[in-house]
C-alpha cells in the first residue's frame, strides 16, 4: 500500500497545472501561443504605415499649416489635404488655386534642407501630418501664371492681372493687395504666388531681386490644397474664388 501511495503522489506532482515543472511548461506554452498575435499586430501597423506613406507620396498628403500667412482661409495648426493628382495629367495650376510647393531654389537656397538623415525623418513625419513641413515647403495662392503681367497697385489699391483689376475677397480683413509696389511679367513655366494675409506673408514679392524673380517653377509644385482635414470643427473644402474669372491671357485666350 505504501508503494501505491508513492506512485499516486508522484503521478499528481507531474500533472500539468500543478505547482511542479508542468506548470512552468504550461505558462511557456501560453506565452509561445501569444507571440504570433503580437507579430501580426506589428505587421498590420507596419503595413498601414507603408500604405499611408505611399498614399501621401502619390495621391493625397496632409500638410500642417505652420504660419498665419494664409489667414483667414488657413489657420495655424490646420491640416490641409494636398491633392497630388491635381496637376499630374496635363493640368496646370490656375489663378486662385492654393498650392503647396517646394521653394528650394526660388524662396530658399537649394541646400536649405540640411542634414539628409534628419530631413528624411522629418519628411516622413510631415507626410503623415505629424509635424511641421520641411523648411523648404510653402503654401500660397496662385496670382499669376506664365505670361501674365501682374501689377500692384491700381488707383483703387487692387492688383491688376493682364490689365484687369482683381477684387480679392479672400484677403485677411483690413489688408491691402500689397504695401510693396511691383510690375512683373511671369516667366513661362512658372507661377507668381502670394499669401492671403499679405502683411504676414513672405512670398513672390520678397524674392523679386533673386534668381527666378520670385516665381516658382511648375515642376516644384507638390499639389493643390483642396480640403481642411483637421481640426474636426474646421473640416471643409477650400472654397474656390471667382476673383480671376474676368482675367484673360495676354493673347486674348481665357487664362
CA separation for the pair 158, 167 (Å, rounded):
7
CA separation for the pair 82, 11 (Å, rounded):
70
Q: Which of 84, 140, 178, 201 is catalytic?
A: 140
Q: Which of 69, 126, 134, 201 is catalytic?
A: 69
Q: Is 69 a catalytic residue?
A: yes
**Strand ranges (E), 75-194:** 79-83, 98-102, 137-145, 149-152, 159-161, 164-166, 182-185, 190-194
Q: Are 61 and 82 in contact (CB under 8 A)?
A: yes
Q: Residue 69, class by beta-carbon neighbours within 10 Å (0-12 exposed, 13-18 middle, 19+ buried)?
A: buried
Q: Is 201 a catalytic residue?
A: no
Residue with cell 494636398: 82
CA separation for the pair 166, 156 (Å, rounded):
10
CA separation for the pair 195, 184 (Å, rounded):
17
Q: Residue 108: count other Cβ atoms within 10 Å of its Cβ.
A: 17
Q: Are 100 and 222 in contact (CB under 8 A)?
A: yes
Which residues are part of the catalytic machinery? 69, 140
Amino acid at each position: 500500500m505504501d508503494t501505491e501511495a508513492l506512485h499516486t503522489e508522484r503521478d499528481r506532482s507531474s500533472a500539468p497545472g500543478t505547482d511542479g515543472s508542468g506548470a512552468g511548461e504550461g505558462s511557456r506554452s501560453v506565452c509561445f501561443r501569444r507571440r504570433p498575435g503580437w507579430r501580426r499586430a506589428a505587421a498590420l501597423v507596419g503595413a498601414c504605415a507603408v500604405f499611408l506613406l505611399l498614399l501621401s507620396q502619390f495621391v493625397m498628403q496632409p500638410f500642417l499649416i505652420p504660419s498665419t500667412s494664409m489667414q483667414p482661409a488657413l489657420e495655424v495648426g490646420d491640416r490641409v489635404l494636398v491633392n497630388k493628382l491635381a496637376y499630374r495629367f496635363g493640368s496646370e495650376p490656375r489663378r486662385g488655386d492654393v498650392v503647396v510647393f517646394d521653394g528650394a531654389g526660388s524662396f530658399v537656397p537649394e541646400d536649405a534642407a540640411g542634414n539628409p538623415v534628419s530631413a528624411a525623418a522629418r519628411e516622413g513625419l510631415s507626410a503623415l501630418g505629424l509635424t511641421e513641413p520641411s523648411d523648404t515647403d510653402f503654401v500660397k495662392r496662385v496670382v499669376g501664371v506664365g505670361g501674365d503681367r501682374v501689377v500692384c497697385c491700381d488707383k483703387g489699391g487692387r492688383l491688376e492681372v493682364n490689365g484687369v483689376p482683381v477684387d480679392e475677397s479672400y484677403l485677411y480683413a483690413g489688408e491691402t493687395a500689397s504695401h510693396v509696389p511691383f510690375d512683373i511679367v511671369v516667366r513661362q513655366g512658372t507661377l507668381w504666388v502670394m499669401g492671403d494675409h499679405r502683411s504676414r506673408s513672405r512670398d513672390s514679392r520678397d524674392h523679386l531681386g533673386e534668381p527666378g524673380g520670385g516665381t516658382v517653377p511648375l515642376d516644384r509644385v507638390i499639389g493643390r490644397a483642396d480640403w481642411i482635414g483637421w481640426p474636426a470643427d474646421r473640416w471643409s473644402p477650400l472654397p474656390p474664388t471667382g476673383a480671376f474669372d474676368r482675367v484673360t491671357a495676354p493673347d486674348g485666350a481665357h487664362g
